[in-house]
Amino acid sequence: MPARSSAVLANRPQRFWDRVAVLGTQEQSGTPPLLRTYEDMRLGWFWATDAEGDLTYLSDWIEEQMTAGSGAPVLGRTLLSVFSAETREDTESTRTLPFLLAKHAPFENMLVRSDGPEGVRWWSLSGRPSLNAAGEFTGYHGHGSDVTRQRMEAEENARLASHDSLTDLPNRRQVSARLETLLNKARLHGGDCTFMLIDLDRFKQVNDTMGHQAGDILLQQVAERLVNILGDREKVGRLGGDEFVVLLPDFSNETKLQALAQTIIEQLSQPYSVNGARCIIGASVGVAIGPGNGANCDELIRNADLALYSAKAAGRGRYRFFSRELLEAAEERRTLEHDLLDALARDEMAVHYQPIVNAVTNEVTGFEALLRWNHPQRGAISPAIFVPIAEEADLIVRLGEWTLRRACEDAAAWPADLRVAVNVSAVQFALPNLPSVVLSALASSGLDPHRLELEITESVFLGDSGESDAMFETLKSIGVRLALDDFGTGYSSLGYLKTAPFDKIKIDQSFVRGATRNGTRNQAIISAIVALATALDMETTAEGVESFDQLEMVRSLHVSHVQGFIYSKAVPQQQLLERLEQGEWVIAPAGPAFQRSLRHATFRRIGAIHHNHYYPVILRNLSSSGALIEGLVDVPEGTQFVLDFGDGQLVVASVRRSMGNQQGVEFEEELVHDSAGGLYTRTRVSPQALAALGIRLDAFNNNDQVTIFPVEGQLSIPAFRTLT
């Protein structure tokens, strides 16, 4: 045979197999030189079997690898006992290697593996049946090549494609694929699949203060804690950033899920050690159970995200289960976002002004500009609702600049000694053009710079301190005043007060609210803030003062200024001008003698449980400490109920006032405010826990009914307290 390279030989398959066939008849006289050279170069190897499938020939170097260390002969064994056929789970084809060998069919590039002293190796195997002159099958002749490196690279590439490179957890792509598979299985065969979405609280502060490398180390430690909690790495995943997931097939017991979610929050909130520094973060969890909460992967993830959003809005460090109300609220929010995009153009936005009053003389010293939205269909919409929407929709800068310009124009019409305070968001503060925007607003309105006070929150100090210092210096050079807003509610360091040139510290209403109640430390906190401000030659303003006991308290602590309903709510410019024209520079305080919780007017059906009956009632108004209910007649004062607000929210309430078919009730434990202005209970009771007490579950959350539901067994107040 003329000399040809192995590449040419490979391109002539029929000639190649003819040559290999010769090999089978020349085992005693030796392999032809060309094929022996091919073997010696270890570019590939040859094999042959007899009619029974036993190996009769194997290239020397492969045989040596197979027998090294064991001495067990390879020749004489069946091909499939030496090389295990790779199964293909991703194909429905029945043409596997055992099938082809049984049919005496040719095959090419079949993937097989062998387990030898050097570990697992992968081979690409090709073979062709051999027939004698009578056409009878006499065995196989074949060729093989080592594809271990390619196989390992492919496996590594597949792993990298399906796993997060930082934590080695399944990534978004793998999580989505597995979740879709589990949901399909649940739809076809029944069962559930729980999806938990976990977001780390305060993780951004670690990245901003310690750097991204420290953040990466922290994420790795979080991943390991989650794996330890679940006991299975494949049940945990990372979607990206600081978002992790937990996938639990055939697991939907709400009581156990609540316990697991709480364990995750508690474990992830324990301190971490990163590069010798102590880090403390938290976690919030959203839970959705498919296919009931989502028929496909995208729906289930979206609904878990809505539950997570609710948990974070409720104050972080909490878990929430998805409910239909969350989806309706999200759709409502999306509608408001679309309306907000055009609100300025439609002249729906306005600025109202709340007086800032000298705490000793009751003299008005200025006003805070507060943005208001009067929706054409929905009426007045609370800033607590539309401001977060504006932040998420990247509208906050546009609204902030419009408010600044309008406030400067309006303040220019006031007497010269009155100041106007305007909020500046952290996003606005980070923009290099903020000073030019302020200068433009001052110039176009003619307002003196010293009459403009910019209120800035502590969150601006989470960024680059050098840039923050430069911005403060530039703003002060313009001549405006600076106030530190919401002091004590965010950034935990006081170091920035050494250099930041603030003229005033505003004491957040969360410290004022409840400061006059027994057992609170709020008065001590306010006193410390006043002492700090006095030492730094700064004024103080207490926000949210509504009652005389609060006013006397802040006065006794030497707060210099007061802002709140006890003096005035925010009023529009025209009303403000009318009051100023009357020479009303002093406002006499007016309000309740003692602090009371803010009441939200409402009209919806809830449930009132008393002993063994479930009564539908109407909720007329609601505050954190009590409510007005309607629907029961002549209930004695002191009667205790368990009120069912729906979605597992139950609270013990006592009747304090009874007026015919209306009762004023006081809650045993106060409700909690969320970021959207709503109220909710601190804990939720699962249906399983209620069932354990013998409560009929069909009675709960059925608030459209107008009949009385007898409850099998009794939900006594002590039993409910034990339950929660």
Amino acid symbol at 150: Q
pLDDT value at residue 263: 93
For the segment 71-87, the average pLDDT, to the nearest whole number, is 78
In DSSP notation, 100-112 reads HHHTT--EEEEEE
Collect all residues with Cβ–Cβ distance below 8 Å to 564 and sequence separation of at least 6.
509, 512, 542, 543, 544, 545, 546, 550
More confident residue, 12 or 581: 581
Residue with tokens 């170097």, as numbered in its chain: 61
For the segment 265-269, the average pLDDT, to the nearest whole number, is 93
55-59, 433-437, 545-549, 674-678: lowest mean pLDDT where? 674-678
pLDDT range class, residue 5, cuts 50, 70, 90:
very low
Whether 526 and 507 have beta carbons less than 8 Å apart is answered as: yes
The C-alpha angle 447, 452, 455, rounded to 5 degrees, equals: 155
Nearest C-alpha neighbor of 611 from the set 719, 723, 718, 714: 714
Nearest C-alpha neighbor of 230 from the set 269, 257, 203: 257
Distances (CA, A) of 451 to 364, 410, 475, 541, 664: 14, 12, 13, 17, 47
pLDDT range class, residue 446, cuts 50, 70, 90:
very high
pLDDT range class, residue 710, cuts 50, 70, 90:
very low
Q: How far apart are CA 298 and CA 695, in angstroms?
A: 35
pLDDT value at residue 673: 64
Residue 198, classed as helix, strand or coil, is strand
Q: Is 564 left (phi over 0), alpha (psi -120 to 50) or beta?
A: left
90-94, 434-438, 586-590: lowest mean pLDDT where? 90-94
pLDDT range class, residue 433, cuts 50, 70, 90:
very high
pLDDT value at residue 435: 96
Q: How far apart are CA 311 and CA 284, in angstroms?
A: 6
Residue 638 predicted with pLDDT over 50: yes
Please give the torsion angle defined by the CA atoms of residues 582, 585, 586 and 587, in that order, rounded to the nearest 10 degrees: 70
Residue with tokens 């990245």, as numbered in its chain: 207
123 CB-contact burial (10 Å; exposed 0-12 / middle 13-18 / buried 19+): buried
The DSSP bridge partners found for residue 614 are 609, 709
Collect all residues with Cβ–Cβ distance below 8 Å to 91 and sequence separation of at least 6.
none
Whether 445 and 478 have beta carbons less than 8 Å apart is answered as: no
pLDDT range class, residue 691, cuts 50, 70, 90:
low
Residue 2 predicted with pLDDT over 60: no
What is the set of domains in the chain, with CATH numbers? Answer: 6-154 (3.30.450.20), 165-332 (3.30.70.270), 394-581 (3.20.20.450), 600-723 (2.40.10)
DSSP state of 593: S
133-147, 522-536, 599-613: lowest mean pLDDT where? 599-613
Q: How far apart are CA 413 and CA 441, in angstroms?
A: 14
Cis-peptide into 249, omega within 30 deg: no
Q: Give start and end residues of each alpha helix (H) in 483-636.
A: 509-512, 522-535, 548-556, 573-581
| Neighbour tally for 347: CB within 10 Å | 8
Dihedral sign, CA of 641, 646, 650, 652?
negative
Amino acid symbol at 642: V
pLDDT value at residue 598: 64
pLDDT value at residue 462: 65
| Neighbour tally for 369: CB within 10 Å | 24
> What pLDDT, in 10s, does the model give residues 650-688?
889 999 888 888 899 988 888 876 544 567 777 766 555
Q: How far apart are CA 705 and CA 239, in angstroms?
A: 43
More confident residue, 563 or 685: 563
Q: How far apart are CA 454 and CA 560, in angstroms?
A: 18
> What pLDDT, in 10s, does the model give residues 148-175?
888 887 777 767 677 888 998 999 988 9
Highest mean pLDDT among 7-11, 71-75, 230-234, 315-319: 230-234
1-10, 79-88, 321-330, 582-591: lowest mean pLDDT where? 1-10
pLDDT range class, residue 717, cuts 50, 70, 90:
low
pLDDT value at residue 373: 93
Nearest C-alpha neighbor of 359 from the set 571, 579, 567, 582: 567
Residues in the chain, overall count? 724
Residue 88 predicted with pLDDT over 60: no
pLDDT value at residue 87: 54
560 CB-contact burial (10 Å; exposed 0-12 / middle 13-18 / buried 19+): buried
147-151, 279-283, 477-481: lowest mean pLDDT where? 147-151
Q: How far apart are CA 197 and CA 306, in angstroms?
A: 10
pLDDT value at residue 402: 96
Nearest C-alpha neighbor of 255 from the set 716, 685, 720, 701: 685
Whether 422 and 453 have beta carbons less than 8 Å apart is answered as: yes
For the segment 274-282, the average pLDDT, to the nearest whole number, is 90
Enter the tokens of residue 409.
């124009």
Q: Supply the mean pLDDT for the chain.
A: 82
Distances (CA, A) of 150 to 80, 127, 145, 159, 618: 22, 21, 11, 14, 70
pLDDT range class, residue 585, cuts 50, 70, 90:
confident
Q: How far apart are CA 446 and CA 102, in angstroms?
A: 96
Residue 55, classed as helix, strand or coil, is strand
Residue 28 predicted with pLDDT over 60: no
pLDDT value at residue 10: 39
For the segment 209-234, the average pLDDT, to the nearest whole number, is 92
> What pLDDT, in 10s, does the model give residues 400-429?
999 999 999 999 999 888 999 999 998 899
What proportion of the chain, given as a percentage, has pLDDT over 90? 40
Distances (CA, A) of 571 to 39, 104, 347, 351, 355: 94, 93, 18, 9, 9
- Distance between alpha carbon 78 and the CA centroid of its chain, in Å? 56
Residue 207 predicted with pLDDT over 80: yes
The DSSP bridge partners found for residue 130 are 139
> What pLDDT, in 10s, does the model give residues 310-355?
888 777 889 999 988 888 888 888 888 999 988 988 999 999 999 9
pLDDT value at residue 521: 86
For the chain, the first-to-last Cα distance in angstroms comes to 90
pLDDT range class, residue 520, cuts 50, 70, 90:
confident
Collect all residues with Cβ–Cβ distance below 8 Å to 81 and sequence separation of at least 6.
none
pLDDT value at residue 465: 65
Dihedral sign, CA of 230, 232, 235, 239?
positive
DSSP state of 699: G
